[in-house]
Amino acid sequence: MLCYENSELLIHNSELTLTQIAIFASGSGTNAQRIMEHFQHHPAIRVALVLSNKPDAPVLGRAANFGVPTHVFDRRSFYDTDEVRQTLAAHGIDYVVLAGFLWLVPVPLIRAYPNRMVNIHPALLPKYGGKGMYGMKVHEAVAASGDAQTGITIHLVNEEYDKGRILFQAACPVSPTDTPQDIAQKVHALEHEHFPQVIEDWAGGLPQPAPIPSPSPEG
């Protein structure tokens, strides 16, 4: 277990070897905030960048409150250019966290971070996963199903929606009277409780990655 005593001294002495995390988020960013809080004074891991596909996403303001740099991109730059990968490389990002990010990550970016990109899904995969299953749509489906439980899944990202290797799951009960909003509240509590620690265990337990190579010119 990491000791947090004298963490400022540890950070000063090991600044060049800090593990750098980037967070992608599309909306409010409550999970991103919990992650930034968790790592704010961490001796070995820090949130170095927050990225969003929405220029008015509240997560950008949350990042500013923590002094974390931000980057906003549009669909063209995300899918048709190397802008986002270059931005991650410029900030020395080692690991990528998707925290409420709603777009499918392009294959070249996934391949730039093999086994170093993680996502959280608001259900117990493989149930209620796949394209179009996010946010309240998931909770509405759970409420309509009559399932007795739901939960969260934290998994690695691959080239298919919600199909990467599962790192962690946690469940909560669902009662017959629960509305989708009730379910969402229970699931958010699980996300806030577990996601930061799973990220710490995942990123802290892996060897330091090799530098990300630039793509070879075509032709």
What is the CB neighbour count within 10 angstroms for residue 156?
18
Q: Which of 12, 41, 71, 121 is catalytic?
A: 121
CA distance 59 to 32: 7
CA distance 163 to 157: 7
CA distance 85 to 203: 19
Q: Are 143 and 187 in contact (CB under 8 A)?
A: no
What are the structure tokens assigned to 199, written together?
Answer: 């990220």
Which run of H or E residues covers position 180?
helix 180-204
Our answer to whether residue 121 is catalytic in this structure is yes
For the annotated catalytic residues, the residue numbers are 121
